[in-house]
Amino acid sequence: TFSANLTEVDASYKDVLHTKDLAIGYDHVLSVINFDLKRGEKVGIIGGNGLGKSTFLKTVTGALKPLSGTYSIGSNVTVGYFDQQSAQISSDKTVLDYFWNEFPDDTETAVRSALGAFLFSGDDVFKRISDLSGGEKVRLRLCIIFRRKPNFLILDEPTNHMDIIGKETLEDILEQYTGTLLFVSHDRYFIKKAADALLVFENGKTSFYPYGYEQYEQSRSEETETEIPQTAKKEKKSYTTPAKEEAKRQRRLEKINLQIAQSEQKYAELEAQLSLPENQTDYVKLE
């Protein structure tokens, strides 16, 4: 698997990102955000599709203008931004030339060493960018970003084209990362490992939770259990014992967890197949 040393980065000031009434979107407002990110925090962004998670990252990196409100990046902050288009890069340049163009002052030995750490060794460095798989393109972009040792990493779905080993490797790298992290992901296991706080997008607003995904799930579950509908007060007495109801709920929960595990395994298998070189030109199979 690939490797990177991100344990030694220059420290930023305490305030890394500040947003005030930041309205994000294209032709209409997707969400309004008030959020402060401090040095060393690792925040995962979650929420349904189309609510503005990626749009938020594009806005604070300057790729997209805010509709209203303000945001600011703190002093001595160096940003490393990985977006969803990183796996779509296309070029006739070789991996070696593409990387070297980013770091023209490096020696060939240093360039080859950096690429080798991300599994581009031997003749692999002479592959054309356009011929790389989605997973290889992601590794190359991460190699370039990590090489600069930013103290503020902004990642948008970085594990989309990775196999299980690649995901676990990135999790370990980010766990040891000494800088500040802000990322979007739909992979709940990745979120559990990489995030110690959450920014949740829902219903046109955002909520910040200063704890990890497991505690977030637990708190949401407790909120749901305490929300007793008014109509329930008028219902007739149930003759089912609480013990039977709890056992029934546990059986259903076990069944759902099994379905989730099976679906995630299938998802990982399909991702692995997508990254196989022999499948890259089989358009019927890719579809």
- Do strands 79-82 and 15-25 pair parallel, antiparallel, or not at all (unpaired)? unpaired
Structural tokens at position 163: 């196999």
Which runs of consecutive H residues, i.e. helices, occur in 107-159? 108-117, 134-147
pLDDT tens track, the chain, 287 positions: 888 888 778 888 999 999 999 999 998 999 999 999 999 999 999 998 889 999 999 999 999 999 999 999 999 999 999 998 887 888 899 999 999 999 999 999 999 999 999 999 999 999 999 999 988 999 999 999 999 999 999 999 999 888 889 999 999 999 999 999 999 999 999 999 999 999 999 988 899 999 999 999 888 877 766 665 555 545 545 556 777 777 788 788 878 878 887 888 888 888 888 878 888 777 677 77
Neighbours of 167 (CB within 10 A): 21
The distance from CA 176 to its chain's CA centroid, rounded to whole angstroms, is 16
Which runs of consecutive H residues, i.e. helices, occur in 43-155? 53-60, 95-102, 108-117, 134-147
Q: How far is CA 27 from CA 2, 24, 64, 234, in A?
A: 40, 10, 12, 46
Rounded to two decimals, what is the model's pTM? Answer: 0.76
- Do strands 205-209 and 15-25 pair parallel, antiparallel, or not at all (unpaired)? unpaired
Please name every residue paired with 35 in a beta bridge, in sequence order, or none if there are none. Answer: 19
